[in-house]
Structure 1
């Protein structure tokens, strides 16, 4: 098809090594950045791929894109966008198979993109220097972003870093999906929902599914004004001595639904935050094992039984599979458009009860419904 004026198309960065880029603490300073500048001709990148590359010892961000054509109502008035609507999304952006380490700030950031893909990246030792609030992998002001099969660990949370999570659906997003990711040993937590982090901004319909969070600290789910997020079939493991909050709410959010998750919490953290409002969350078919704070969420199909993970405390995702005799088996709530597969590639049953957590055991055909899983 013909492409409009102002578009640059077909860029491939493959198997390169970027290192020792001593920038400053602004988000214009990076290991690799694709940037659209200017305000005269509407411009965007199309068919941009960065893959199989290594970025290490850089300030501030590792791999990212930016644009001056980023203003729309959902983004709010941040960056001088008040009243301006010039959003021109970048298309066919792919960040795949890269290794990002030892950054002063963020690892990978996807901005102003339509159906961008961030997958199979290894991101670690992130936010190593005091450069403000930073996250391992995140997307902002984008539609239908897909963040999957990434391994993110050892994101630091220095005193000036208000975040420090592995992943973030930031403000101005529609329908971002975070799936099949492994988050572990991150000082800020697993997942940040930051729809209200910009002035007048919102984020809608984020999906977080089939992920494993192991030994993350701080806040597993950190929530700031998110509309209609769906959080399902994730497994969260918190060891003895952990003080991480399962949910930390900073401002009012709208209808966050959590289903079929396994919370294996041997620590002391629970459900808190300066604006924690239980009515903003709906819990259905979740397993809460271990710590039971007094404000543990109500759940009509709650289970507090040991979900019988194969080797809880292990270092490999396979350690967090379900034992064949697990009470979490066929105890979840059916979900439409459920992605079709679990973390390991096993099929998720369609139209009947799945297993809880990020792992699905084999299911009989036709699949069977389970009786109530309440204790």
Structure 2
């Protein structure tokens, strides 16, 4: 196996309930401030709190204290607190404030119990790192269906002060069972149900979740002209499960709550819209996100209003609506993720693995294993957009493995993907005005065991040099089409798949590597700017180019 690729993806996601590590081991961080300790059973708020022998006791002590650059706030492992924590103050560049744990045992648990909006909160603060905590916020049932669903969050980092707030990191946390409302931007109010509301507008929608970064304004009637921008956001090495609306949310204020003429920065009228002021430099990596046990968990990652983002090394399991979605975003790379078994929940219309959605430009979707969802990859670039989809393995997606659903001003370049279909009547599908976008589809393997699976044709879709296997109607525009058995290593493989303990099982997709004699070997088109490596990190090209996501003989299947 190519060490450059798979070595970098060794599982670092820590399963729920395992031993916490000391915050003093924070990489690259040398403590220069004061270290404070909190012990729920052995502490006393009358103590100095600056040693493990004389710790504070309550979360309230943290909430009334203003901390300084370099300070550490350490909660004792194995202890449980109820309520919320909002420590005050900001760190500085190179000297963040760290909220973490000490000792050995389970992560310290903070339980909002549905009595607080956010269990862990930072507001108008920067240079913070939140590590090694367990966080939950479950509203108790009240006896009326949906009555316990409120606007709740687990970890909420926000601002409204018209400045740029930087270096906001969340690392090795376990956030779970956060109940909340599902408020949709549009839709039809006829679909309203307990805990689910349509037509709520941008600023009132999609802002509940496990970990939420968002911004607003201090006064809706006098919002000012300067946005609050969050910069250098990281969520990594964490487990987020059963959280409504989403596992991880990033969102900017739009102004729709105050009317169409209000000041806001979250909407994007064009690719160069100067009024669009997104959050910047976002990294979502090596997390396990599951919505398996909630009917209100709609997205794994909802990445909106960002410019410059990397979503990598994540496992997203049984989300509703979308595993990883970008919306009003620019310059986003989604790579090395496993997304599977996404299903429709809470009135959502979609159930896809990856979705570059409305007004998204310079989106790169590569090296992902997308399987057993409804749609595999949905290209839903309403208004405008540009996306490259390359070197992904798509397996057993039940509706549309590749769904073409963008507006006229959008473009998509789809090449060197391997699409294996054993359940759907479709391979690539689009309809109506969504076919007015420009789609270029080259060097892909389409292998269907379902006879006559549909490949939508249109004057705006260019099929070129794809390999078609199975009983298919080959698009007439593909004048260089290849046919025949691609001779995969082990098609139809059913695992292993990613878990909280293992991280993404990208190696499973090597079942779709080519074997000797495949008609995909050395018959591909040379494509410039192809990233230099295939799905598994093998160098491109090994001789002449191949068709599909895995280059034969490039080290990817060894």
Q: Name the CA distance, whole Å, in 2 between partners of 1:320 and 1:245.
A: 17
Q: Please tell me whether residue 302 in structure 1 is matched to residue 476 in structure 2.
A: no
1:59-138 → structure 2 map (5 Å cutoff): 59-68=244-253, 69-74=265-270, 86-102=275-291, 104-127=297-320, 134-138=321-325
Q: Please tell me whether residue 33 in structure 1 is matched to residue 212 in structure 2.
A: yes
Q: 1:23 aligns with which of 180, 195, 209?
A: 180
Q: Please tell me whether residue 43 in structure 1 is matched to residue 196 in structure 2.
A: no
In the alignment, structure 1 segments of 5+ residues that lack a partner are 77-83, 128-133, 364-375
Q: Name the CA distance, whole Å, in 2 between partners of 1:65 and 1:135.
A: 15
Equivalent residues, number: 337
Q: Please tell me whether residue 313 in structure 1 is matched to residue 492 in structure 2.
A: yes
Q: 1:246 aligns with which of 406, 420, 428?
A: 428
- 2:435 touches 2:458 (CA, 8 Å); kept in 1? no
Q: Deviations over 1:247-285 (max 9, x none)?
A: 23352333200110001111146337xxx6511100111
1:142: Cα distance to partner? 1.2
**1:367 maps to what in 2?**
none
In the alignment, structure 2 segments of 5+ residues that lack a partner are 1-92, 94-125, 127-160, 184-205, 218-222, 254-264, 495-507
Q: Name the CA distance, whole Å, in 2 between partners of 1:95 and 1:269.
A: 39
1:297: Cα distance to partner? 4.6
1:75: Cα distance to partner? 7.9
**2:520 maps to what in 1?**
328
**1:210 maps to what in 2?**
391
SS in structure 2 at match of 1:135: strand
SS in structure 1 at match of 2:414: strand
**1:233 maps to what in 2?**
416
1:157: Cα distance to partner? 2.9
**2:551 maps to what in 1?**
360
1:185: Cα distance to partner? 0.6
- 1:143 touches 1:175 (CA, 8 Å); kept in 2? yes
**1:291 maps to what in 2?**
471
Q: Name the CA distance, whole Å, in 1 between partners of 2:230 and 2:484.
A: 50
- 1:242 touches 1:269 (CA, 8 Å); kept in 2? no
**1:373 maps to what in 2?**
none
SS in structure 1 at match of 2:511: helix
Q: Name the CA distance, whole Å, in 2 between partners of 1:252 and 1:75.
A: 21
- 1:179 touches 1:211 (CA, 8 Å); kept in 2? yes
Q: 2:240 aligns with which of 52, 55, 64?
A: 55
Deviates more, 1:341-350 or 1:214-223: 341-350
Q: Deviations over 1:165-211 (max 9, x none)?
A: 1000101111100000001110x211111112xxxx221x2000000
Change (3 A) 1:269 1:153: farther
State the TM-score, normalized to the length of structure 2: 0.57
State the TM-score, normalized to the length of structure 1: 0.84
- 1:216 touches 1:244 (CA, 8 Å); kept in 2? no
Deviates more, 1:338-347 or 1:218-227: 218-227
1:72: Cα distance to partner? 2.7
Structure 1 runs (4+) deviating above 6 angstroms are 2-5
Q: Deviations over 1:81-127 (max 9, x none)?
A: xxx96211211100001111015201101111111110000000111
Q: Name the CA distance, whole Å, in 1 between partners of 2:406 and 2:424.
A: 26
**1:366 maps to what in 2?**
none
Q: Name the CA distance, whole Å, in 2 between partners of 1:310 and 1:11.
A: 44
**2:380 maps to what in 1?**
194
Change (3 A) 1:277 1:286: closer
1:21: Cα distance to partner? 0.6
Q: Please tell me whether residue 349 in structure 1 is matched to residue 541 in structure 2.
A: yes
